[in-house]
Amino acid sequence: MSLQKLTISELLDAYSRRTLKPSEVVQSYLNVLAKSNPTLNAVLQVDTQRSLARAKQLDSRESEIAKLPLYGVPIVIKDNILVEGWQATAGSKILENYRSPYTATCVERLENAGAVVIGKANCDEFAMGSSNEHSAYGAVKNPWDISRVPGGSSGGSAAAVAAQMCLASLGSDTGGSIRQPASLCGVVGLKPTYGRVSRYGVIAYASSLDQVGPLARNVWDASRVFEVMAGCDGHDSTTSAQTVPRYTELLKTASMKNVVVGVARDWLEGVEGEVKKTFDESLELMVSAGAKLVDVTLPSSKHALATYYIIAPCEASSNLARFDGIHYGFRSQQKSSLNDLYCLSRGEAIGAEVKLRIMLGTYALSSGYYDAYYLKANRVRSLIQKDFEKAFTQCSVMAIPTSPTTAFVMGEKSDDPIQMYLSDIFTLPINLAGIPGISVPCGKDKAGLPIGLQFIGKHFDEATLLNTAHSYEKVRGQWDLPQLGVV
């Protein structure tokens, strides 16, 4: 069997039997990456020497396999998450050539558990986008059909897993940026509860919404990565002190029996026909496996799109003020005054989508408009949170399509921001509520493009969420990845 066919659990088993070594596994994945990345543009930086040196160090630590839950697992990190000595552009020209002096907590924990970073993934600039067409370093292509988008903003992270360039990757999710590309690329993507994973070392977009999570081939693999990096961090005051369960141990007894799944049917408007059909078939599959369906309502979620596109740009306008061409990163050479330096550096190096959101946020926070926009949006956010709390008194998890469509053709929505933003209509409310969500593959359309099913859980109840997703995965059956990149 090709090394690229192994899951994390299978790879760890091979290591424990001493039939594989990290150096040969990492070299194999680097070979796939070198072959496929020129076509997909999913990974922005590779440091072969550094990655192989790390893998060879692990070769000599075979006696510690049982103590290292991610021993020798090749991973790719989204380029807005810092890794010491690696670049961190966040997909923006204004951070070209910037290299991080420290490592994000989430990555540090993965490396301490034995994972090997083999690349930094392309992404929409500053994680703002739903198609990964907004990177200063070129668009990422979908491994299932390179004429189509992989989703965004973590499109590079999703494409890298789907194309078997790595066994898992990290992405960030502010309004659906892990789950939506996971859906479009046919992989598993988890957005944890806000505060479950540290944001220390993550280049901020919207601080009250951003969360880091894993993308992987199946729920067990995503759970293993998640349980390693989750937990309280003294560097991030928003992280929770709640105990992190051993999710992979809990999956051993996962079952769909007696799981109560909430379905917000009034939330399904605008869903593409084949996506709706596959979603309905998924619900029937859950019932056949012992689940119970109940109808729930989320009346305030119809305002989620407008609410998000006030709150997120407001926070972005503040967070991105630090990228000024003075301290680090890109600096314009066309200047005659300090004011020109600021204006020209940001004007030349920041892309159109990011400029749009900065201006929206600056306007909404300006004198005379704060109460009318930002304050009101936060009140609606509270209503959305209360809707979910009420719905969860009737069910243990909820189910909804991850995206209303499958992967669309590149450039199709570039001139229509509203249609682009609607790609996240089923993921945005989960970020506003701060609750966890996971996308798992559930089928394909007639063109062979993946369709994602999203499960939504209660605050800090990733255990139930992952158990349900894993149980669904078992009754759904084997899921194949595209052949591109396999050697």
List active site positions: 78, 153, 177
Cis, peptide link before residue 439, omega less than 30° from 0: no
- The partner residues of 48 in beta bridges, in order of sequence, read none
Shortest CA distance to 427 belongs to which of 319, 284, 312, 339? 312
The C-alpha atoms of residue 225 and residue 141 are separated, in whole angstroms, by 25
Q: Cα–Cα–Cα angle for 301, 303, 308, nearest 5°?
A: 100
The C-alpha atoms of residue 351 and residue 463 are separated, in whole angstroms, by 39
Residue 275 exposed, middle or buried by CB count within 10 Å (0-12, 13-18, 19+): buried
The C-alpha atoms of residue 421 and residue 406 are separated, in whole angstroms, by 14
The C-alpha atoms of residue 84 and residue 91 are separated, in whole angstroms, by 17
